Amino acid sequence: MYHAIVFLPLIGFLIAGLFGRLIGARGSEIVTTSLLVVSAVLSWIAFFQVGFGHGTTRVQIATWMASGDLRVDWAFRVDTLTAVMLVVVNTVSCLVHLYSIGYMHEDAHRPRFFAYLSLFTFAMLMLVTADNLVQMFFGWEGVGLASYLLIGFWYQKPSANAAAMKAFIVNRVGDFGFALGIFLVFVLFGSVGFDAIFPRVADLTNQSFHFLGRDWHALTLASLLLFMGAMGKSAQFLLHTWLPDAMEGPTPVSALIHAATMVTAGVFMVARLSPIFEYAPVALTVVVVIGATTAFFAATVGLVQNDIKRVIAYSTCSQLGYMFVALGVGNYGAGIFHLFTHAFFKALLFLGAGSVIHAMHHEQDMRNMGGLRKHIPLTAAAMTIGTLALTGFPGFAGYFSKDAIIESAYASVAHGGFASSYAFVLLVAAACMTSFYSWRLYFMTFEGKPRWGADAHAAHGHDAHGHDDHAHDDHHGHGHDHTPHESPWVMLIPLAVLSLGALAAGFVFKDAFIGHDFEHFWKSALFMGKDNHILHAMHEVPGWVVASPFVAMVLGFLFAFYCYVLRPDVPGKLVAANPALYKFLLNKWYFDELYDFLFVKPAMWLGKFLWKKGDGFVIDGMGPDGVSARVVDVTNRVVRLQTGYVYHYAFAMLIGVAGFVTWYLVARG
């Protein structure tokens, strides 16, 4: 069964990729989607078998490499954590495949698109089933490659190419740290296999390692290097800049990246390596601070975005910060719980946004929408459910998982100190902002007067804050004078399934992830030290702590309702009163400009210098015809020594041997 779960997407990729022209676009869609449906069904079977039945299973595929002490097997490690990720990855990927049949029906390159989707899924499955760090790194790099191919799928758009390159390069920074972490783990443990590493972690509690001229606590250094990889892949603060630009890819790609693959890889990796992180409290503190900062930062930027997909993208960045805070305070179950519920409602929001874009003839700017609820009521209902789940409305999926993280942050203040207090305050503030920008998106898109007709476009071509700007068009660039239309059923069915998940996933599984079934459900998949009592402590926080995320959610909703329904003139007045703050948030805290100044321009200058002075002046310019011409002349003379006669080569060898013997005798003498 596990072979089928992992390899069916790979088979789909090979069929659509190699034989796409032969079987056609329709054949590629049917083959890849059908295989993903089977894989998703088997994943749910595995989820209930593993989570509520037997524990860890190891499935040996082959010996990958063996060199000295290094032995790397290709094997599947199937436990509860793996089963949860299999469900998340294959369920969302299956629905994205189905949705894409309708969304991409105009694209001439559908076989290539569906092949890339299946490759993306296979790479993520390799990552989450990894039995060792090298296999995990293989899947890690695989999702990076697939994301590059999918973000830049519309390669005729310069912005799509730039976004794909940005995602690839920024992730290389994090992956460099991840690779160093793997090297250090091998040095410390003599193995990269989890079964060999985890039982020995406690023995290295006081081990030190000399690095960069000083001695470090070995497990802390390893954890920080590994977390550097997670920061890149999961778009955490400082390495987050690639994620919003990833919106240049088709909308189904955004749903797959943000809900099920790639960005969740970092969260999974930290949870999988919980036995190491539990013995590195300093590293866990760093995880808490980075996660809380990311949650707050991304929420502030999301307040002012006008592209419907970018608002949801910054929401993803913010929610990933919540997950890392949970991991950092030791509540690994809550972190994975939020990953699980987030997959449903974030995929729902992205695919719902895609349905809006489809209805609006590929318009993505919310300033040119409005009043769509009457025209696309099913999409509006799905977006409402997704918004309620994201903002943490009681009973919906996000309410159970996000509130648990906020309560865990407060519960850990006693031993976490400033970092936990910092996290609690920022997470509550982010919850308020999340509610505001989520309802802002809904009200600007579905309520109010239409701003998408020809006359309305002329009258309302300015943004909601009173600044003139042009609409952002997607790849087709159609006009905006057509009446919006509801999406076909092939796109609405995934929305219905995801709506069910956004409604029920939290309530149904809360006991397994953070309640009284935790020990039975997770068994040995997550490790919590003997001093880690966060599961008990989070249920004993004061009542005002429990109520704080709900109050924050209500305040955000009320302010959004006031600004975009009751008094639509208020946002423009706020911007006029605070232009500097508005520009600061609209320009994403100027991180792109800062990195351009610090890294991009110096690298460009160095490259141009080496090109002009090194290659042009030295290599091609010196001497009558340049150094390169002289090298060619010398090479031609050397080539004449290659006569092809064996006795010439034997003679040259004898001269060499004689010279070596002479040197040896003289040196010995």
**Quick one: average pLDDT of 607-631?**
71
> What is 78-110 written as a DSSP string?
ESHHHHHHHHHHHHHHHHHHHHHHHHTTT-TTH
Cross-strand partners of 74:
62
- The C-alpha atoms of residue 42 and residue 27 are separated, in whole angstroms, by 23
SS3 416: helix
The confidence score (pLDDT) of residue 212 equals 80
Whether residue 480 is predicted with pLDDT greater than 50 in this model: the reply is: no
What is the pLDDT confidence band of residue 201, given thresholds at 50, 70 and 90?
A: very high
Whether residue 432 is predicted with pLDDT greater than 90 in this model: the reply is: yes
- Taking alpha carbons only, the member of 426, 434, 347 closest to residue 390 is 434
The confidence score (pLDDT) of residue 362 equals 83
What are the counts of helices (DSSP H) followed by strands (DSSP E) for the chain? 29, 4
pTM, rounded to two decimals = 0.87
**Quick one: average pLDDT of 543-562?**
95
- The C-alpha atoms of residue 183 and residue 163 are separated, in whole angstroms, by 30
- Taking alpha carbons only, the member of 163, 74, 108, 128 closest to residue 264 is 128
What does the domain layout of the chain look like in residue ranges?
Answer: 280-522+542-586, 588-619, 624-669
Which pLDDT tens digit goes with each residue over 437-479?
999 999 999 988 888 765 454 444 444 343 333 333 344 444 4
SS3 291: helix
Residue 620 burial (CB < 10 Å; 0-12/13-18/19+)?
Answer: middle
User: What number of residues does the chain have?
Assistant: 669
Which pLDDT tens digit goes with each residue over 577-604?
999 999 999 998 999 899 889 888 998 9
The confidence score (pLDDT) of residue 354 equals 93
Phi then psi dihedrals of residue 56, to 5 deg: -70, 135
